[in-house]
């Protein structure tokens, strides 16, 4: 019974059967063709039997063919993740195969079909990429392999690697990319600006020999007298500063952009920034809120701390209620006693929306260094760049200019109260946030 379930008929068979029907109709009109048509049909049936014998000569699936899907234990949200399918032909003859991979339903793709030709005992690998846009668990189905002989009349189906459960985490691939570039001082390749240091840090590192270009004010005269050579005091960046990424999970962060929500962009940027802060010897923490306070990771710098942050960010979901900034201010005042850098990922569309929360933002800015991060509407920018040709387009452009102007007004009003801002497009969020952090660190503000 299992053999019949694995038996499939190719398209070539159906076309040949249609041809035989037409030939029999033609033989009814011209009886002289009837013996020829019967002989051809007998040959066709014999070839089908031969094809079935060749395909099912090995009743064991593993003795005939082998396939395996190599997928990471976790996928990176918003990134292209490589998937590999390994094929091995164990038949004693050349086979043509069609490979259909049952990918998770979240991708809504029905065209993951590959074709390949494998000689006897030959192996091949097929590669493709998947870009998830939601965090959570994804279930891969089976790898279906349909093997055919050179006759290509019948197919035998093989199924491998069934029911693989994979978790989609925040963009750890992006985190690793920034980490490697930060270690090798190549962050400028992905848009991170070099910021000239203003003055120098007051955190002493070591006494070293004088090099041309060193500030003469840092000469250590006592060490110079002992060594009979010019020695200077070397200073390093301030370390162990507390950096908190505060993520708004309210309805304003539900807006989509290129498949990801604004919350997902904020989660990915928070993961990268936390990792960069840890590399810079600072302490990284996370706080989420909506209509109620969510989860909090206290700013620390311990082994495995970034994994703890990753696990917390993985579970974050947007809510459809208005965010409670009063509860946020109360919680920050109770939980974060040391002056810290707070990066608030949220979104304000109108000045009135800002005014409802401005009093709480001003109180936070008095006790901490606050940066409000919110998003440009890229659709508005593209609409404004196109000329208006009709009356309706003129009205649309006028309304778009009003909303675009309000974003600029929000930035201006926040700056009046000494609150740092980042107004950025979603795709530039990570680079702009890291730029701002490094800028403030170079200026000695944290």
Split at pLDDT 50, 70, 90, the class of 226 is: confident
Nearest-angstrom CA–CA distance, 409 and 430 = 23
The residue that leads in pLDDT, 389 or 193, is 389
Nearest-angstrom CA–CA distance, 248 and 253 = 7
Residue 254 and residue 261 in contact, taking contact as beta carbons nearer than 8 Å: yes
Split at pLDDT 50, 70, 90, the class of 153 is: very high
Angle at CA of residue 119, ends 127 and 85, nearest 5°: 20
Count Cβ neighbours within 10 Å for each residue of 386-405 and write b for 16 or more, e otherwise.
eeeeeeeeeebbeebeeebe
Query: What integer is the mean pLDDT of 194-204?
Result: 53
Decide if pLDDT at 238 tops 80: no
Split at pLDDT 50, 70, 90, the class of 149 is: very high
Split at pLDDT 50, 70, 90, the class of 185 is: low
Query: What integer is the mean pLDDT of 45-74?
Result: 88
Burial class from Cβ neighbours inside 10 Å (0-12, 13-18, 19+) for residue 135 reads buried
Residue 228 and residue 307 in contact, taking contact as beta carbons nearer than 8 Å: no
Split at pLDDT 50, 70, 90, the class of 281 is: confident
Q: Can you give the pLDDT at residue 76?
A: 93
Query: What integer is the mean pLDDT of 250-270?
Result: 90
DSSP state of 194: P
Helix or strand (DSSP H, E) at 43: helix 34-55
Decide if pLDDT at 412 tops 90: yes
Q: What percentage of the chain carries pLDDT values higher than 90? A: 50
Domain boundaries, the chain: 1-169, 172-196+238-442, 203-236
The residue that leads in pLDDT, 8 or 237, is 8
Split at pLDDT 50, 70, 90, the class of 236 is: low
Backbone region of residue 304 per phi and psi (left: phi > 0; alpha: psi in -120 to 50; beta: other values): left
> Largest Cα–Cα distance of the chain, in whole Å?
120
> Would 1-169 and 172-196+238-442 be classified into the same CATH topology?
no
Nearest-angstrom CA–CA distance, 51 and 53 = 5
The residue that leads in pLDDT, 148 or 205, is 148
Split at pLDDT 50, 70, 90, the class of 129 is: very high
Decide if pLDDT at 191 tops 60: no
Nearest-angstrom CA–CA distance, 401 and 381 = 9
First to last CA, the chain: 72
Please report the beta strands in 259-360, taking only residues with DSSP state E, as ranges in sequence order. Answer: 260-261, 283-289, 293-300, 341-345
Q: Can you give the pLDDT at residue 188?
A: 59
Query: What integer is the mean pLDDT of 99-121?
Result: 90
Q: Can you give the pLDDT at residue 216?
A: 73
Q: If DSSP codes are grouped into helix, strand and coil, which group holds residue 212?
A: coil
pTM for the whole structure: 0.80
Split at pLDDT 50, 70, 90, the class of 122 is: very high
Decide if pLDDT at 196 tops 60: no
Return phi, psi of residue 60, to 5°: -75, 135
Split at pLDDT 50, 70, 90, the class of 387 is: confident
Angle at CA of residue 359, ends 355 and 363, nearest 5°: 150
- Helix H segments across 280-346? 305-314, 325-335
Question: What's the CATH class of domain 1-169?
Answer: mainly beta
Decide if pLDDT at 124 tops 90: yes
Question: What's the CATH class of domain 172-196+238-442?
Answer: alpha beta
Q: Can you give the pLDDT at residue 202?
A: 55
């Amino acid at each position: 019974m299992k053999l019949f379930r694995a038996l499939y008929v190719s398209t070539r068979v159906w076309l040949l059967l249609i041809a035989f029907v037409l030939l029999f109709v033609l033989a009814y009109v011209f009886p002289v063709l009837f013996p020829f048509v019967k002989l051809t049909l007998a040959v066709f049936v014999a070839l089908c039997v031969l094809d079935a014998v060749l395909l099912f000569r090995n009743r064991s699936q593993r003795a005939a063919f082998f396939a395996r899907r190599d997928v990471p234990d976790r996928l990176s949200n918003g990134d292209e993740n490589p998937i590999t399918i390994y094929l091995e032909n164990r038949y004693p003859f050349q086979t043509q195969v069609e490979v259909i991979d049952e990918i998770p339903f979240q991708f809504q793709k029905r065209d993951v079909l590959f074709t390949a030709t494998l000689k006897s005992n030959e192996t091949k690998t097929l590669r493709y990429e998947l870009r998830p846009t939601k965090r959570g668990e994804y279930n891969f189905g089976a790898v279906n392999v349909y093997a055919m002989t050179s006759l290509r009349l019948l197919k035998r189906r093989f199924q491998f690697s069934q029911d693989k459960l994979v978790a989609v985490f925040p963009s750890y691939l992006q985190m690793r990319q920034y980490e490697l570039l930060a270690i090798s001082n190549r962050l400028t390749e992905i848009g991170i600006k070099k910021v000239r240091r203003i003055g120098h840090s007051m955190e002493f590192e070591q006494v070293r020999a004088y090099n041309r270009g060193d500030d003469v004010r840092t000469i250590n005269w006592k060490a110079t007298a002992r060594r009979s050579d010019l020695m200077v005091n070397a200073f390093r960046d301030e370390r162990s500063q507390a950096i908190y990424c505060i993520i708004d999970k309210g309805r304003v962060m539900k807006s989509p952009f290129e498949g990801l929500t604004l919350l997902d962009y904020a989660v990915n940027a928070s993961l990268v920034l936390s990792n960069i802060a840890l590399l810079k010897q600072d302490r990284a923490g996370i706080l989420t809120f909506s209509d109620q306070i969510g989860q909090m990771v206290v700013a620390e710098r311990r082994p495995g701390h970034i994994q703890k942050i990753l696990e917390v960010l993985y579970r974050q979901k947007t809510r459809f209620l208005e965010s409670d900034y009063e509860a946020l201010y109360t919680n920050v005042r109770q939980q974060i006693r040391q002056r810290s850098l707070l990066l608030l990922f949220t979104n304000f569309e109108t000045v009135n929306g800002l005014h409802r929360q401005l009093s709480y933002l001003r109180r936070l800015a008095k006790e901490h260094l606050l940066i409000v991060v919110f998003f440009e509407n890229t659709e508005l920018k593209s609409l404004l760049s196109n000329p208006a040709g009709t009356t309706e387009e003129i009205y649309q452009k006028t309304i778009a200019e009003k909303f675009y102007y309000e974003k600029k007004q929000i930035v201006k009003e926040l700056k009046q109260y000494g609150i740092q801002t980042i107004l950025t497009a979603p795709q530039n969020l990570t680079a702009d946030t890291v730029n701002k952090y490094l800028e403030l660190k170079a200026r000695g503000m944290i």
